[in-house]
Chain A
Amino acid sequence: MSATEKRPRLVGTPIPRKEDADILLGQARYTQDMSLPGMLHAAIWRSPAAHARIRRIDLDRALALPGVVAAYSGRQLHELTYLKPMAPFPFQSRDPFQKGNPTIKFFDHYCLATDKARFVGEPLAVVVATDRYIAEDALDLIEADLDELPPLVDCDPALAPDAPLIYEAWGDNIMLKFRVSGGDVDQAFRDADVIVKEEIHSGRFTGTPIETRAVVANFEAAIRNLTVWDTTQISHPMSTLIENTIALPDLKVRVLAPRVGGGYGQKWSFYPEEVLIPLLAILTRRPVKWVETRREHMVGTIHAREQTHRIEAAVRKDGKILGIKDYILANIGAAYPTGGLASIITTGMFVAGAYKIENYAGEVTGVVTNKTPYGAHRGFGKSEACFVIERMIDIIAERLHMDPPDVRLKNFIPPDEFPYVSVTGPRYDSGQYGRALNRAMELADYPKWRAEQARLRGEGRYLGVGTCLVVEPSSSTRMGSYNAGYYSVRMRMDPNGKVAVFPSGSDEGQGHATSISQLVADELDLSFDDIMVLEGDSLACPYGSGSYSSRFSVVGTTAATMAARQLKEKILNIASVWLQKPSALLELADGAVFVRDNPEVRVSLKEVARTAYFSIFRLPEGMEPGLEIIYHYRDPNIEFHADERGRVAMFSSFPYDAEVAVVEVNTANGTLKLLKFVSVHDCGNMLNPLIVRGQHLGALAHGFGGALYEELPYDENGQPLATSFKDYFLPTALEMPELTLDHLITPNPFTPGGFKGAGETGTVGPPAVLANAVEDALRPLGVKVRKVPLSPFYVWSLIQDANKQT
């Protein structure tokens, strides 16, 4: 390479990750790997009952077991004057939009319940011992009197006037009410030729990262420093949340996320254990570790998606959707501070999906029940909204005797109307929805499958074709919450010219270190290996809101890019003093700054860096020493303030996915054979196509899980029926079908890189497209698919029910 040539650009290339070597060698350290001298182990005693008054918890026998150091119940901890109720994450206040909409009721949860148990798995007591085996033995010795109360499992009984109250002070079981509307939905319904009314369910589902949660805490009493290693997506907010909940004077909390084994939103929450374990470290004056068992995870880590939509569409006979009314009931479970409220509000905002629907009224009711709390999960409310609207499109098509893709094409937001302000406020940045759907249908050979369908119907066989186009808004900001609308990056070039980057987010497997290194390497023409990235440390990294909503691609990359550019500007300004030339004439390449038209005139990058740190007398007048920049990037396409109708632009970038699925249904046992699956994904420009493809495939697999295999049923006593991987069917490699993948690139117009989020979109489509395909297959039998997962038993039951009615 010559002295003036830049290195090949890395952004846009499928470069393998720098994170991988440690992991592959077994040297990566996850929270469950943390160990400190004198460390104790906690085991949590969780409620066996769905709803019960706590009369008595007796820990004496547990405490007497050799090896047990301490044990506490909720009432005992409640006596600590500095222990506050858990702060209402993700909100900062009880009226987050400051408009009285949504209205939210809160409850003072403590890290161990004091008065009642409100779901199976709720933490009620804790034991701390010298090892986890002994701590578990001690749990066997806890005696408790729990007066069982009638449990509430579904929304409708919880809303009945005589329903038992889960939170007595509320007077009812409604935690949240939110209304959002745009246009004139009443007029739209008057103008309609056809009104289509449906009830559609989105089933309870969760993320189950292979790494369960874990918390390790160490308290340095003399200086009141509390260090918490936590499998969290939100190190900084967590440090604040803990400080606000363990309100010891002078307490300073540092939260570190070591390598995290998958998040998907399950680790974007504020959990009781994140208060409890630090509290135990304070009380015992020893480090304390808790590693969640899988059973604890299935009951004690958030669930998501459980909603019922009573939806009406006003439709013109040519297929144009004039308006939608949607009454949404979300089954929140117990009212812990989990981010579930934000998720269901989001559902209400995105029922219009990819479509130009200009009249809308949505009402969201968050109902508390005696189930595991509802929280954030990949798709975050938009998956539920997409499921519903994509099902509605097919149902409308059937009513109008149209082919579903044609209804979609008729109603899509046209490509020339972007940025498009949707009926509930969000400004959709860019998209080519029609092109994507047509491409998916072309790759699937849609006409061939329609012909095959007709032929097989003649043989008494049931083949179906489904389509969908799902938009998965990413990078969210929410007024009055920890999603504060900016992303900060600190970037330092050291005296040797190597760069350290401290982003304010976190990584659960997305490859941020690699992505940032690609960006910085290109901006500063450095070697990929000379860049180090540290994330997830609330002390070392600038304050931020963490990782969620696929925002890194949008705001994280931009912040890193802008920080690098500012650093470059400073480098060139220092060099301009050295070289006595204006910085506009200078170039930075391959470890040197030189005059563009006269490359012989140069100074090494190392020399510039050393100047900044050690020879500050050579700096330009007024320039600060050092080469360390902090850049705060504000999310460009959002609005903070909701209007009086609840409209607000909460998400800034809009990746999407067009899918076609072909299935054959075996009516004797309900099994499905997936004959074709096409996904055309558009996440704008791709920073690292290898990583984007990994997100696309992984998210699709995750979506298949929710579409076909995974559900979280409860019995009528509020007992969860899926509490391990033996009854929660996470797909294996053998379940992965053959996939046809393609992508479009419609850049994000608001950011320099043009990237949109990529991590969630794939999860959203499969439930909708497969439900559409199965209903299409079974149309001759009059089957209506109203929920997922499409387990063989559910599909078979649908066929039986349809047969009974004929």
Chain B
Amino acid sequence: MSDKKRIKVTINGKEYEHDVVPRLLLVDYLRDYAGLLGTHYGCDTTSCGACTVIIDGRSAKSCTRFTVQVDGRELLTVEGLARDGELHALQQAFREEHALQCGFCTSGMLMSAYDLLSKNRQPSEAEIKRGIAGNLCRCTGYLSIVAAVRNAAQKMQSKDSPS
């Protein structure tokens, strides 16, 4: 049995502190300790991306990170996208474009799209496809997700532009 480690992490602006065993995967910490169930398990080989979150401003597959590695870091999960009850532009766009069916890959897709748009405000279709290439979906065939990310980029641009 390994010694537990004390970790402190900020998730969606809120501080969490727990003692965890080193082998606890971040995805399990988020779900079982922080109570944030929006991040999902979909595979065992870092392939599907259903577990994607943002760590210190960069998207990461939380199934391929030990909780101890995020000590002192800032995380954003799908639960942190909406502000004051208002859906984020990405969430609105996903709904408008029917970019989700069963919804299981959706939180991961949103976080990857969020990461993409934070670095590239007007991505092309090819860049969007590359941006979500680490996220697998079986329901939608991806094209509606690409449309949703474009839609969200436009929404975010017009919010920023002077009126």
Contact = CB atoms under 8 A, between A and B. Distances in A.
Whether A and B touch (Cβ < 8 Å) is answered with yes
Contact of B94 (A20, A33, A690): A20
Interface string A133-169: 1000000000000000000000000000000000000
A395 B147 CA distance: 39
A733 interface: yes
A541 to B, nearest CB: 19
Interface string A707-730: 000000000000000001110001
A471 to B, nearest CB: 21
Contacts of B42: 210-212, 294
A697 B24 CA distance: 38
A733 B129 contact: yes
Contacts of B50: 210
A46 interface: no
Interface string A189-222: 0000000000000000001111110000000000
A702 interface: yes
Interface stretch (A361-369, A403-411, A505-513, A516-524): A505-513
Contacts of A730: 47, 136, 138
Contacts of B103: 19-20, 23-24, 28, 259, 261, 509
Interface in A228-277: 259-262, 264
Interface string B58-79: 0000000000000000000111
B101 A509 contact: yes
Contact of A733 (B1, B45, B146): B146
Interface stretch (B3-11, B33-41, B155-163): B33-41
B86 to A, nearest CB: 11
B95 A20 contact: yes
Contacts of B43: 294, 724-725
Contacts of B143: 697, 736, 739
B81 to A, nearest CB: 8
Contact of A510 (B38, B79, B101, B145): B101
Contacts of A634: none
B82 A25 contact: yes
Nearest to B79: A26
Contact of A701 (B95, B107, B141): B141
B138 A207 contact: yes
User: What range describes how many residues of A lie at the interface?
Assistant: 35 or more
Interface string A290-305: 0101110000000000
If over half of A's interface residues share one DSSP class (helix, strand or loop), that class is named, otherwise mixed; here it is: loop
A23 B100 CA distance: 9
A691 B41 contact: no
User: What range describes how many residues of B lie at the interface?
Assistant: 35 or more
Interface string B101-145: 111111100100000000000000000111011111111111111
Contacts of B141: 697-702, 736
Contacts of B139: 262, 509, 694, 698
Contact of A17 (B21, B31, B98, B144): B98
Contact of B133 (A23, A30, A733): A733
Contacts of A30: 40, 104
Contact of B95 (A16, A133, A509, A732): A16
Given A697-B143, A698-B140, A21 B102 contact: no
A80 interface: no
Contact of B98 (A16, A32, A260): A16
A28 B79 CA distance: 11
B48 A725 contact: yes
Contacts of B24: 133
B38 to A, nearest CB: 2
A724 B100 contact: no
Contacts of B105: 210, 261
Nearest to A261: B104
Interface in A661-707: 690-691, 693-694, 697-702
B79 A725 contact: no
A537 B90 CA distance: 32
Contacts of A508: 102
Contact of B132 (A207, A693, A733): A733
Contacts of A260: 102
A223 interface: no
Contacts of B19: none
The 5 closest A-B pairs by CB, nearest first: A26-B38, A261-B104, A509-B102, A701-B141, A725-B47
Given A259-B102, A725-B48, 16 more contacts: A16-B95, A24-B106, A28-B103, A209-B102, A210-B40, A261-B105, A262-B139, A294-B48, A509-B100, A509-B103, A510-B101, A697-B144, A698-B101, A698-B139, A724-B43, A725-B43
14 contacts: A16-B96, A20-B95, A23-B103, A24-B91, A24-B110, A32-B40, A33-B37, A259-B103, A261-B103, A262-B102, A294-B44, A294-B48, A702-B141, A725-B48
